[in-house]
Chains A and B, each alone.
Chain A
């Protein structure tokens, strides 16, 4: 009682005035038996208007004011009436608890643990009644781990049943009266897309007199900005355009969700119901437990949205008209128990009960009984209900954000029924049109086709890795061998050169663009590997790796454009172009030097000087690097960035990404070889030093051409 009073006083519409009770004839009355609720409310509220707009009434539900606006109906009024006949009952605003009376399991701000109602009725009309059984949705702020249900791995489920309940929302937060001045303007009309909010709020007294009862169903977008909420989502516009929010934000449902409603088998507890996510129903019910089930995604005509599919079986007559449930019940039961002849025919083990196996074999017998009851050619028909899942929303932390969870080649089966007579035709709902029904024995299921995509950072196209890595490995081995021989022969070439001098080889800008290139390439390689291997590399988060990679690519590209301009403007570009005649000979000479002369202390065939900084092999390498690899990498990179969010082009990722990957292996190999060759100057570090201060040690006597 105390709890009830607290509930009443706390949840009340603050300041509902006292009122008197009226009877059917509009006369004041003191007797609660005579009270006409609609006449009483009509003293102030336009009850006719309310009823004419009521979405409940429109759906054929006979619902009165107090069904939603009180906790205990007329008794509330009676217990709050004073001697003069004035009722000082603070009327409840429609509370979530009252919605729960019909719509499913709701438990908000309550000390009571979430439990299932003792008796659930499945209404097969596709209405919003008993959503919990239809979909497994439970609206509660309670942590699942703290609820009163048997759920597998419950301890690890420290999230609430519904994040909106957890954040203090209740049913009317989204399902409100559209002319409530507090809510007007929240819903954007299609024709007001240029407005964020319609400020033309109604007057509060108009609302109180005529509250529209065609309750709103606010969508996620009414409150959330899905673009701003997902700054790091790959292919964001594509994902947001093709997926309902709930597709990700209802990862699993833990309430009992129906799988089959079998109206052909009526037990004393009602039609036979199969629960999708209930463990085996053997042993004591206290040992049964629920498991989470992933909702099934289907195209609702606009987006992929989550559904639960409930298969319903029923008897139909010759004209395919459903046989009334009363008649079927009559065939099975008498006074709420099985008929004796039913038991006699079906109870094979004679234990007085009908097991699932025994019920399954009942069809022929019941068919005969229905015939006796006057049904012409009774047969079983089956159809699948699609119940969209919109509640049960969790916050981002509990969303499975892994690309490969959806984008894989594996297909998941959607079980529609585990024991379906093979001659029964199953009618699929609109959202499943075009899906192929699979039958295996008595099972009927669909295959949930996952969208197989090449996912950056998630899947690996291993051929490009294999080729690239072998290249990298071979080069590394080559360098290692080369270095080892140089080390072994180091004594032979001591003081081999008689004349060297210092020369200013690299101007400040040349050094600058070179080091910018070094920095950007190194960062690109590191972040690129992170993107490529996804979460398998732990150092940088995937989303950061992507942003750094893009930024660095831009820096590198700008740097390259400036450098190209510099080289063209100063004609330095000519240094990179190998002169045509005798190129082969010069290449051989340079190669011979690297294979032989370098060990023996032989002279560089083409010593560096200010006008010719690159040897023929370098020229060839840079020609390939700058004209083939670099453009290839830039173009594939831009394509990945541009096409990654275009649905039509997303298939091309599987080709572009491996090319980008392969070229990056060339770059990695180049970096390794380049770094090694730096050590082949006059001293181990003289080349490095040259790129830092510009001065290198080169062969030959001082020419006096120094620019410094």
Chain B
């Protein structure tokens, strides 16, 4: 009996052995990860759930939380609520007496929008009421805001579909907002729900990112293959419900919980071996985002020192009395540099050298360093106030009674700002150049528009090979990476 069984097995084994051979030849070796199908989302209509008008926006939140009990606590754990990211660990080097250098690390604690300086409106502390019109909460007008109050979560700014729900001072809905209609309309966030804040970062349309602006409301296929051609929503990549993935490269210190092209795409997606050889050192974005601000201009420079001139003609794209002088650019070629998903930051109080440009943030990485790839950046340059005695940047108070926008006096504004931020202001100030790097990851163009060989590998190519650490274009060095 056993003998028979054995014979049966042998026969089948040989038969089975042929299957992988024939299949293997047919579909030889190449594993092509297909991007996942984009879900067709249907949301339960909430229009019959609410009948009585809501007195306060917090009442809407409470109504939401009656069914969605976990939602507030989930979103309150994210940077959307805290405006803080992970701990920023700064790498240090101390020169010892014998001249050797000891490398070390300093944990500077959690950093984020809340406490970092930026290159646009500079700092939030003291200006909360104005800045937090983009906070997903109600009432953050000063340092006393209760970050544990679940009813202060603003559900509607992400879920409203009426389009009439807008946030004003301290994140409260603007007057005459129909809260009932907004509550009845709730659904999954569409691109504009995210865009109402993220298109307008930095104080105006397209100002900050360069790869996020209102053109993404109805994106062209030629600009963005995901949101245009595939009509994807933000939440198709930023998945995970209220604990969704994604980090702001510029404001984060690392990429924990971030999104990667490889989440959906293959590691060697190109047919041409030579292109796949690039992926170790070149980020997908570098070739596939040939230009930023393709349809809407983005701010490239911002000179605060020119602000306050009452005689100068105002122009949204050139000069505003409250903000100073700007330049904008449209359809811009990115700047390229190494980046390993880790970002260094200027921390309030860090000493500066006013004769050189100060990095507000600085992407880590370099040629040959692990995890580093060449990335595309939007670079934004500003002239910011600093303390000429203590040699550090000063975050001005802009809004409010003592704010610069009220009385156009830098002395008062900087004093108030320094007090709010709890740093010493000597009373004398100047302006110094600061720079901020914004890694680009949206506006991924269709493959027909991606960069070609000579866009980088030619005399007029867009990469500055020497600045990237190469002696010359690597195509002239036998292709060494």
CB contact between A143 and one of B11, B22, B26, B448 (< 8 Å): that residue: B448
Q: Is B461 an interface residue (CB 8 A)?
A: yes
Interface string of A155-168 (1 = CB under 8 A from B): 00010100001111
Contact yes or no, B460 A516, CB < 8 A: no
Residues of A contacting B458 with CB < 8 Å?
A: 108-109, 168
Contact yes or no, B454 A165, CB < 8 A: yes
Instruction: Name which of B7, B28, B457 has the most chain A CB atoms within 10 A of its CB.
Output: B7
Interface string of A2-44 (1 = CB under 8 A from B): 0000110011000000000000000000000000000000000
Complex interface residues of chain B between 398 and 457 (CB less than 8 A to chain A): 448-449, 452-454, 457
CB contact between A166 and one of B3, B8, B14, B452 (< 8 Å): that residue: B452
Complex interface residues of chain B between 1 and 34 (CB less than 8 A to chain A): 3-4, 7-8, 10-12, 14-15, 18, 22, 25-28
Contact yes or no, A552 B22, CB < 8 A: yes
> B384 to nearest A CB, angstroms?
30
Contact yes or no, B4 A512, CB < 8 A: no
Residues of B contacting A694 with CB < 8 Å?
A: 4, 7
> B343 to nearest A CB, angstroms?
32
Contact stretch, chosen from A401-409, A543-551, A608-616, A678-686: A543-551
Which A residue's beta carbon lies closest to that of B458?
Answer: A109
> A483 to nearest B CB, angstroms?
26
Contact yes or no, B22 A109, CB < 8 A: no
Contact yes or no, A168 B475, CB < 8 A: yes
CA distance A109 to B26 in the complex (A): 41
> B467 to nearest A CB, angstroms?
15
Contact yes or no, B25 A548, CB < 8 A: yes
Which A residue's beta carbon lies closest to that of B461?
Answer: A109
Residues of B contacting A110 with CB < 8 Å?
A: 460
Which B residue's beta carbon lies closest to that of A694?
Answer: B7
Q: Is A511 an interface residue (CB 8 A)?
A: yes
Residues of A contacting B457 with CB < 8 Å?
A: 168
Q: Is A55 an interface residue (CB 8 A)?
A: no
Contact yes or no, B454 A166, CB < 8 A: yes
Contact yes or no, A523 B22, CB < 8 A: yes
CA distance A10 to B459 in the complex (A): 6
Contact yes or no, A158 B448, CB < 8 A: yes
> B350 to nearest A CB, angstroms?
37
> B22 to nearest A CB, angstroms?
5
Q: Is A671 an interface residue (CB 8 A)?
A: no
Which B residue's beta carbon lies closest to that of A158?
Answer: B448
Residues of A contacting B25 with CB < 8 Å?
A: 544, 547-548, 551
> A15 to nearest B CB, angstroms?
14
CA distance A541 to B27 in the complex (A): 8
Given A108-B454, A109-B461, A512 and B11 touching (CB < 8 A)? yes
Contact yes or no, B4 A695, CB < 8 A: yes
Residues of B contacting A523 with CB < 8 Å?
A: 18, 22
Q: Is A519 an interface residue (CB 8 A)?
A: yes
Contact yes or no, A109 B448, CB < 8 A: no
Given A166-B454, A516-B14, A693 and B27 touching (CB < 8 A)? no
The prevalent SS among residues of B at the interface is helix
CA distance A520 to B18 in the complex (A): 9
Residues of B contacting A137 with CB < 8 Å?
A: none
CA distance A570 to B155 in the complex (A): 84
> A336 to nearest B CB, angstroms?
40
> B340 to nearest A CB, angstroms?
28
Give the interface size bracket for B toward A.
20 to 34
Residues of A contacting B461 with CB < 8 Å?
A: 109
Instruction: Name which of A397, A518, A520, A692 has the most chain B CB atoms within 10 A of its CB.
Output: A692
CA distance A508 to B13 in the complex (A): 13
Contact yes or no, A166 B453, CB < 8 A: yes
Given A160-B452, A548-B26, A515 and B11 touching (CB < 8 A)? yes
Q: Is A379 an interface residue (CB 8 A)?
A: no
Q: Is A252 an interface residue (CB 8 A)?
A: no
Residues of A contacting B459 with CB < 8 Å?
A: 10-11, 109
CA distance A143 to B454 in the complex (A): 12
> A671 to nearest B CB, angstroms?
16
> A94 to nearest B CB, angstroms?
14
Residues of A contacting B454 with CB < 8 Å?
A: 108-109, 141, 165-168
Residues of A contacting B8 with CB < 8 Å?
A: 692-693
Contact yes or no, A512 B460, CB < 8 A: no
> B402 to nearest A CB, angstroms?
46
Which A residue's beta carbon lies closest to that of B333?
Answer: A111
Residues of B contacting A519 with CB < 8 Å?
A: 15, 18
> A691 to nearest B CB, angstroms?
9
CA distance A612 to B453 in the complex (A): 72
CA distance A6 to B28 in the complex (A): 48
Interface string of A659-695 (1 = CB under 8 A from B): 0000000000000000000000000000000001111
Q: Is A145 an interface residue (CB 8 A)?
A: yes
> A160 to nearest B CB, angstroms?
7
> A613 to nearest B CB, angstroms?
17
Q: Is A540 an interface residue (CB 8 A)?
A: yes
CB contact between A511 and one of B3, B11, B28, B460 (< 8 Å): that residue: B11
Residues of A contacting B28 with CB < 8 Å?
A: 544
CA distance A519 to B23 in the complex (A): 13
> A508 to nearest B CB, angstroms?
5
CA distance A544 to B22 in the complex (A): 10
Which A residue's beta carbon lies closest to that of B15?
Answer: A515
Interface string of B455-481 (1 = CB under 8 A from A): 001111100000000000001000000
CA distance A621 to B22 in the complex (A): 29
CB contact between B7 and one of A6, A166, A508, A551 (< 8 Å): that residue: A508
Residues of A contacting B475 with CB < 8 Å?
A: 168
Interface string of A687-708 (1 = CB under 8 A from B): 0000011110000000000001
CA distance A397 to B454 in the complex (A): 19
> B16 to nearest A CB, angstroms?
9
Complex interface residues of chain B between 214 and 229 (CB less than 8 A to chain A): none
Contact yes or no, B460 A693, CB < 8 A: no
Residues of B contacting A547 with CB < 8 Å?
A: 25
Residues of A contacting B11 with CB < 8 Å?
A: 508, 511-512, 515, 692
CA distance A62 to B28 in the complex (A): 57
Contact yes or no, B7 A544, CB < 8 A: no
Contact yes or no, B14 A512, CB < 8 A: yes
CA distance A11 to B25 in the complex (A): 48
Contact yes or no, B452 A544, CB < 8 A: no
CA distance A512 to B448 in the complex (A): 53
CA distance A18 to B4 in the complex (A): 93
> B69 to nearest A CB, angstroms?
50
Instruction: Name which of B15, B26, B27, B28 has the most chain A CB atoms within 10 A of its CB.
Output: B26
Given A166-B453, A540-B26, A109 and B460 touching (CB < 8 A)? yes
CA distance A110 to B28 in the complex (A): 40
Residues of A contacting B14 with CB < 8 Å?
A: 512, 515-516
CB contact between A512 and one of B10, B22, B449, B453 (< 8 Å): that residue: B10
Interface string of A501-516 (1 = CB under 8 A from B): 0000000100110011
Contact yes or no, B448 A693, CB < 8 A: no
Contact yes or no, B10 A508, CB < 8 A: yes
Residues of B contacting A516 with CB < 8 Å?
A: 14-15, 18
Residues of A contacting B22 with CB < 8 Å?
A: 523, 548, 552
Which A residue's beta carbon lies closest to that of B449?
Answer: A158
CB contact between A167 and one of B10, B12, B26, B453 (< 8 Å): that residue: B453
CA distance A141 to B461 in the complex (A): 12
Residues of A contacting B12 with CB < 8 Å?
A: 515, 692
Instruction: Name which of A111, A520, A544 has the most chain B CB atoms within 10 A of its CB.
Output: A544
B interface residues with partner A (beta carbon < 8 Å): 3-4, 7-8, 10-12, 14-15, 18, 22, 25-28, 271, 448-449, 452-454, 457-461, 475
Other A-B pairs beyond A168-B475, A516-B18, 9, CB < 8 Å: A7-B460, A108-B454, A109-B454, A168-B453, A508-B11, A512-B11, A545-B26, A548-B22, A693-B7
Which 8 pairs between the two chains have the least Cβ-Cβ distance?
A158-B448, A10-B459, A109-B458, A519-B18, A109-B460, A141-B454, A693-B8, A544-B26
List, sorted by A's number, 10 A–B pairs whose CB atoms are closer than 8 Å: A11-B459, A109-B461, A111-B460, A167-B454, A168-B454, A168-B458, A168-B475, A516-B15, A551-B25, A708-B4
